[in-house]
Structure 1
Amino acid sequence: MTLADPGRDLDAAPAQRQRDIRRVVLSSYLGSTVEFYDFILYATASSLVFGPVFFADLNPGVALIASYATFAIGYISRPLGGIVFGHFGDRVGRKKMLMWSMSIMGIASFLIGLVPAIPTWGAVMLIVLRAVQGIAIGGEWGGAALMSLEHVKGRNRGFAAAFTNAGGPTGAVLGTIALSLVALMPEDDFLGWGWRIPFLFSAILLAVGLFVRARIAESPVFEEALHAAKERTSQTKESIPLVTILRAPRTLILAGLVCTAPFVIQALFSTFVITYAAENGVTRSQGLTAFAICQFFAIFGILGAAKLSDQFGRKPIMLTGFVGMVVLAWPLFQLASSGNFLLVVLAFLIACSVLQSLTFGPMPAFLAEQFGTRARYTGASLGYQIGSLLGAGFTPVIVASLFAGSGTITSVIVYLVALCAMSTVILTLFVSESKHVDLSA
């Protein structure tokens, strides 16, 4: 697979047009990589660092729950980012909002690396910056996915849009590797200052991402819709994008709920399962390495699943991943608690590189195709962020609380994952297949 593939159905178009498409897809991929490097870095740090650093006056179990609670703040604020950036993205353009979202995310992550280890006040600053991260990524995802989708438009648009989600595991790999390297330091040095280095490094990634993103063109589908809207508004007033979406909320609700199960897997394996594996025989560094390995292969899993969805449809590929989550929930946790590094890696590979990728690959196109152009940024962003909030926002806190109460992984936690996935299977059946939808309609 190459970045040339998304433009294959535009071979008759001018060479400059094809170069623009490749540049947009690359920009979406790199932008998402930068954003998720920052976001996942926080997720992993909340599992290993923030408890003993910012909640040292609490016992370890409660400190971990408190740390995960700050992690949840980012998911709570993501729908707000989707609404705000979506509104202006549907009104003034995708590109401008993407520049803002990337800048805000990079600055917030850099500042997290400077938060002093002061009880109470340090935690407050951490929560505020985490909320800012959530708002930024709430605006980033929808715009990045739409830019690729709307530039390509044709039969490979699912594959093109998937580069946005492929940037997620790429950023996770970079963030996890960075944290794994500093985790090799002596414990006191790592908790004292070493964990800050990966956050400060985000400033360099931000500069690279902004350079690439500044050179892309605005979405042609959006520009056509904007021109048509200006002609209409000379006679009638155009509705606010959010109002347009909420007039028929069924699509938004179904789209958001369908996205829930993949985020449950993402949240569990980027936070709790790393800690859980480390408490059952593998080292902390090995747990991080297992997560990094699965995220590397997830890049290709996401792109492969999206390619299949362009051929067979979004729903069949996503349903395969959801059913797999139901069937394999219990075996995956058994592998993660085996204490054997290779079996732990296998658990991560199956959960994230295969099952989650089957759902994440088609997801950008699936969500965007549910909405019209003048409300697509708002609808796709809000649907995605609702799924992320319900699926990932509170999952680590709930699971950590159950684990702290019993001292072992219980069937209740496995049932939680399986039930969520089964519910998603049922909900997906009520959503129409969207791969043939005309984006300009």
Structure 2
Amino acid sequence: MTKTLYPRPVMTPRRAAIAALLGSALEYYDFFVYGAAAALVFNVLFFPSGDPTVALIASFATFAVGYVARPVGAVVMGHFGDRLGRKRVMLATVIMMGVASFAIGCLPTYDQVGLLAPALLVVLRVVQGFSAGAESAGASTLTVEHSPVGRRGFFTSFVMVGYAVGCSLATIVFLPVALLPAEHLYSWGWRVPFWLSAVVVVITYYVRSHLDETPVFAEAKEGSAVRKLPLNDVFKYHWRSVIRVAGASLMAAMQTLFAVFSLSYATSVGVDRSAMLAVISGAIALSIVTIPAAGYLSDVIGRKPTMLISSVGCALTLVGYLWAISTTDVLLIAVFAFVNMSLFFSCYNGVWTSFFAEQFPAPVRFTGMAVSNQLGNLVAGFAPMVAAILLGTGPMGWVPVAVFGAVASGIAAIAVIGMPETSKTPTELLGGPRVAVMKAEQEAERLTAAHAG
């Protein structure tokens, strides 16, 4: 019997980068729309309370619930991504995210159905989180494995260019909605941004469906290197990498403090809501240029130096950003927003997608990155709620929030220092010395099974 030969997949880094960008754009479009709605609308429509602060904290809690669901999605979808292939799972995440987001726009409010309204909101937020738990890791894995050595940082940075694109699209949609009179905003206006996510879903699904499986995964499958239980191997052989990546992922708290908490804080001290939305979205939009620049820089000087510059810079400029908000000076807020988000945070956002994926070998790369990254992201999801609790009264009430952000950034920096530099490491050697041990045990398992047969 002759063995059927199939054409080997080839590297298509540009196509992979576009597919990653679109999927990430969908994820972060929904992220920003939900975050803005949680800060401005959900506390009124889904969590009415005599105390506005309690209602806001409850609204932010539903935002955090999505992050709780992310590790579960990372485990489940990461398993299938390492077992069945990157492409299939990335198509599934797009469908789940799109359906959940559209359905949120169709929900009845508390006044219409009572407690069923927030319950349904939480369920759909969980579905969003489940999908998002695999999206970034899957897109990063797919792009890393489609990219040549010395260019992995640049091409994989487009995963987070999608973040900037998604947030910008969300603002283009949400900003005019936020300007609506209250009766229109709370009746139908807030629903429109969620419904429009369907457009991004269709485009993303089409592009990803025309993308080949990665050559690295195809080679692993052909060589019978696909693992039965990738999660078991991740914690058995790569637990140090899990801890480091989870710690480094705490830096994402800066993102949620910047894009979600600051909006609520600014409006509470008298900054115009639409002006603050414009500042946040403008700073993120500028990241479309600085994120790939950071990815390119990490290919030249290394991943670690680029990310350490970011962690120190973000911790310092968060202080200035929150102080500027307390002054209600929109121009001053915009300057610090640009420095914090467009410059320093981009040095992290443009690099972590490649650096975290490079910490794991191909047979467990999807699972390893997804699980460890989402464990760290749990803190990021709760950051707006924690910040709302820490926020004090008076002109200096923002200081505890700045300290909280600096601590998260410091932990991330320590984790990055402990990670091996990978910018020049050949793709087949990624994952460290434990790869050889894993392969040896896998070969022993294969021989045992063959002998038993």
User: In structure 1, what is the equivalent of residue 448 of structure 2?
Assistant: none
**Residues 1:254 and 2:244 aligned together:** yes
Alignment of 1:16-415 (within 5 A): 20-118=12-110, 119-229=114-224, 238-248=227-237, 249-261=239-251, 263-390=252-379, 392-403=380-391, 409-415=397-403
Instruction: Output the CA distance in 2 between the equivalents of 1:412 and 1:401.
Output: 10
SS in 1 for 2:327: coil
Correspondent of 2:428 among 433, 436, 440: 440
Instruction: Output the CA distance in 1 between the equivalents of 2:334 and 2:326.
Output: 11
| TM-fit CA distance, 1:407 | 8.7
Instruction: Output the CA distance in 1 between the equivalents of 2:366 and 2:348.
Output: 20
User: In structure 2, what is the equivalent of residue 416 of structure 1?
Assistant: 404
The amino acid that maps onto 1:198 is P
Instruction: Work out whether residues 86 and 378 of structure 1, in 8 Å CA contact, stay in contact via their aligned partners in 2.
Output: yes
Instruction: Output the CA distance in 2 between the equivalents of 1:426 and 1:143.
Output: 25
User: In structure 1, what is the equivalent of residue 415 of structure 2?
Assistant: 427
Instruction: Work out whether residues 254 and 409 of structure 2, in 8 Å CA contact, stay in contact via their aligned partners in 1.
Output: no
| TM-fit CA distance, 1:406 | 7.1
Instruction: Work out whether residues 53 and 117 of structure 1, in 8 Å CA contact, stay in contact via their aligned partners in 2.
Output: yes
SS in 2 for 1:394: helix
| TM-fit CA distance, 1:408 | 5.9
Instruction: Output the CA distance in 2 between the equivalents of 1:169 and 1:72.
Output: 21
Instruction: Output the CA distance in 2 between the equivalents of 1:324 and 1:107.
Output: 38
Instruction: Output the CA distance in 2 between the equivalents of 1:338 and 1:177.
Output: 26
Instruction: Output the CA distance in 2 between the equivalents of 1:242 and 1:332.
Output: 40
Instruction: Output the CA distance in 1 between the equivalents of 2:408 and 2:26.
Output: 29
CA distance 1:123–1:429, shift in 2 (3 Å): same
The amino acid that maps onto 1:26 is I
Instruction: Work out whether residues 24 and 135 of structure 2, in 8 Å CA contact, stay in contact via their aligned partners in 1.
Output: yes
Instruction: Work out whether residues 10 and 215 of structure 2, in 8 Å CA contact, stay in contact via their aligned partners in 1.
Output: no
| TM-fit CA distance, 1:405 | 7.0
Q: Can you list the C-alpha shifts for 1:330-389, whole angstroms capped at 9, x where unaligned?
A: 222111222122112122212211121111111011001100100000011112212211
Instruction: Work out whether residues 149 and 425 of structure 2, in 8 Å CA contact, stay in contact via their aligned partners in 1.
Output: no
CA distance 1:407–1:229, shift in 2 (3 Å): farther
SS in 2 for 1:225: helix
The amino acid that maps onto 1:353 is S
User: In structure 2, what is the equivalent of residue 11 of structure 1?
Assistant: none
Instruction: Output the CA distance in 2 between the equivalents of 1:153 and 1:382.
Output: 25
CA distance 1:345–1:358, shift in 2 (3 Å): same
The amino acid that maps onto 1:396 is P
The amino acid that maps onto 2:313 is G
Instruction: Work out whether residues 82 and 382 of structure 1, in 8 Å CA contact, stay in contact via their aligned partners in 2.
Output: yes
| TM-fit CA distance, 1:125 | 0.5
**How many residues are paired up?**
417
The amino acid that maps onto 1:106 is G
Higher gyration radius (CA): 2
| TM-fit CA distance, 1:425 | 2.0
The amino acid that maps onto 1:403 is L
Alignment of 1:8-19 (within 5 A): none
Instruction: Work out whether residues 27 and 132 of structure 2, in 8 Å CA contact, stay in contact via their aligned partners in 1.
Output: yes
Instruction: Work out whether residues 277 and 344 of structure 1, in 8 Å CA contact, stay in contact via their aligned partners in 2.
Output: no
Instruction: Output the CA distance in 2 between the equivalents of 1:184 and 1:284.
Output: 9
Residue segments in structure 1 that go unaligned for 5+ positions in a row: 1-15
Give the TM-score taking structure 1 as reference length. 0.91
Instruction: Output the CA distance in 1 between the equivalents of 2:285 and 2:185.
Output: 25
Instruction: Output the CA distance in 1 between the equivalents of 2:233 and 2:266.
Output: 46
Give the TM-score taking structure 2 as reference length. 0.89
